[in-house]
Amino acid sequence: MSGHILEWIKSAQEFVWGPPLLGLLLGTGAYLMILLRGLPFRKLIPAVRLALGRSSKKDKNKSPGISAFSSLATELAATIGTGNIVGVVGAMTLGGPGALVWMVLSSVLGLATKLVESSLSVQYRKTCRDGLPVGGPMITLSSAFPWRRTGKMLAWVYALFATLCAFGMGNMVQANSIAVSLEASLGIDRAKAGLLLSILTILVILGGIRVISGVSTFLVPFMGAVYLLGCLGIILANLENLIPAVQGIFLAAFHPQAVSGGIFGSIAASWVDSLKWGVSRGVFSNEAGLGAAGISAAATKEAEPVRQGFISMTGVFFDTMVICVLTGLAFACSGVPGMLEAGGVTLRNGAVVEGADGAGLMIAAFETAFGNVGGIFLSVCITLFAFATILGWAYQGEQAFLYLCGGKWSWLFRMGYGLAVLPGAVFTLEAVWGVSDVCNGLLAVPNLICVLVMAPGICEKIRRFGERGW
């Protein structure tokens, strides 16, 4: 019976992440980029300076909410997770090395989508009972969508899938990645790891958005810097492979069979598979088009919606154009892809990694530069990344849950969310991975409908803001 359920879930995954959704995501990004006259790409560097500049200045704004940078850190906490490691390596294994190119190209269009959806969430946010601003696609749909009844229905659908995504992709899947990696590298019992992780999660999220954003503001820059240094170490240790890796990655995006042999081994993926895995895993990583980042963006004390939209937009840059690209380059330079055709990759501890086991393959890549310490190093990185994702999704999921429950039962969500970490760490979650992927895709539909319908008005406002300066 369980085998039939898993087969059904796999079929649902393939259907949801088929050409219609991928076309909707890419088409929406292209449409918005045209409406904005390329502004998100042209203003990317100023937006990055704006985001980083605000992090170094003392925020004197005493209005309710969190700082603009804390909001961005909370967004990044939810997006920078196992998708940046497992997702990238899995995409390059299943879709060939060229999947990395499609991941980056789709993220360029994702800049426009993230800018618009976050600006809308900030513009139409409301004030909750404790005086803090709250927003997100469900608030925008219910209060500003032109067709009120349709908007309320789409808002309820969005909130439902966002809640499910929080417990699945944002919580249990991340907890499972932490427990599995700690057990493999340090021999820590999964139940003990899950219990400790559950307690830490409850202690943080009971403090609400201020505590979550505070932890995220420290954790995100720290874990990002540590992991990127590790990736650079792999590239430097295998520097002779850098030019062949870059050439092969670009060539494989359009003509995969031409890359067969060398550091990439035998490439079986078509360019269609390359496109599919690159786009889907890129969205899984940076969440452009899902709208969830707008929930965190709306919590800011920043008064100008478009300014916060530009700051939020930089999350796509940091997540995909920096972390995912360096992950892909490190994996390619390591030479591990070429070892797969020999029947699997053997790790230093004797374990054999086969197929698209992203974590195992990346451990092998780290071992080429750091030896036995490589597995432990990556396990620490996965733990930090995944724990940050659990915290980021805690706030986003709570706001979706409160929308469904009429603003009540916040404590119930926080306790249930924290307790869900334990079974996530202990049990096999193949079905949870699948269901989460389905909910992840379905989450995009009501959000993109909202973005497309409301695009003309918000894009005009963004153009005026972008052209007159910051």
Q: What is the mean pLDDT of residues 189-197?
A: 90
Distance CA 188, CA 380 (A): 13
Using the predicted structure, report yes or no on whether residue 420 has a pLDDT greater than 80: yes
The pLDDT value given to residue 172: 87
Give the tens place of pLDDT for each residue, 323-372: 999 999 999 998 888 777 656 666 666 666 666 666 778 888 888 888 88
Give the tens place of pLDDT for each residue, 157-178: 999 999 998 998 888 888 888 8
Residue 145 lies in a domain: yes
The pLDDT value given to residue 260: 58
The pLDDT value given to residue 411: 86
Residue 9 lies in a domain: no
Q: Which of 206, 225, 211, 200 has the alpha carbon at shortest distance from 387?
A: 200
Using the predicted structure, report yes or no on whether residue 74 has a pLDDT greater than 70: yes
Using the predicted structure, report yes or no on whether residue 142 has a pLDDT greater than 90: yes
Using the predicted structure, report yes or no on whether residue 112 has a pLDDT greater than 50: yes
Range scoring the smallest mean pLDDT among 29-38, 103-112, 124-133, 347-356: 347-356
**CATH code for the domain in which residue 434 is found:** 1.20.1740.10
Higher-pLDDT residue of 92 and 184 is 92
What sign results for the dihedral spanned by CA atoms 349, 386, 156, 315?
Answer: negative
What pTM, to 2 d.p., does this model score?
0.88
Residue 1 lies in a domain: no
Q: What is the mean pLDDT of residues 222-242?
A: 91
The pLDDT value given to residue 253: 81
* 269 Cβ contact partners less than 8 Å away, ≥ 6 residues apart: 94, 95, 96, 98, 99, 252, 256, 277
Residue 5 lies in a domain: no
Distance CA 81, CA 196 (A): 19
Domain tally, the chain: 1
Q: How many CB atoms lie within 10 A of CB 145?
A: 22
Distance CA 406, CA 408 (A): 6
Give the tens place of pLDDT for each residue, 385-400: 888 889 889 989 999 9
Distance CA 470, CA 465 (A): 7
Give the tens place of pLDDT for each residue, 245-282: 898 888 888 876 655 556 666 656 677 778 888 887 88
* 360 Cβ contact partners less than 8 Å away, ≥ 6 residues apart: 345, 347, 351, 353
Q: What is the mean pLDDT of residues 108-112?
A: 94
Residue 4 lies in a domain: no
Rg of the Cα atoms in the chain? 21
Residue 7 lies in a domain: no
Tell me the pLDDT of the chain averaged across its residues: 84
The pLDDT value given to residue 1: 46
Residue 8 lies in a domain: no
* CA distances (Å), origin 398, targets 86, 173, 197, 280, 289: 26, 17, 19, 25, 20
Distance CA 414, CA 394 (A): 8
The pLDDT value given to residue 401: 94
Q: What is the mean pLDDT of residues 222-247?
A: 91
Residue 11 lies in a domain: no
Higher-pLDDT residue of 393 and 183 is 393
Range scoring the smallest mean pLDDT among 46-60, 280-294, 436-450, 454-468: 46-60
Using the predicted structure, report yes or no on whether residue 9 has a pLDDT greater than 70: yes
The pLDDT value given to residue 311: 92
The pLDDT value given to residue 116: 96
Domain boundaries, position 263: 18-53+62-468
The pLDDT value given to residue 218: 83
Q: What is the mean pLDDT of residues 303-325?
A: 92
The pLDDT value given to residue 64: 64
Using the predicted structure, report yes or no on whether residue 284 has a pLDDT greater than 60: yes
The pLDDT value given to residue 434: 76
Task: Write the DSSP string, 334-386.
Answer: TTHHHHGGGT-EE-TTS-EE-TT-HHHHHHHHHHHHHTTHHHHHHHHHHHHHH
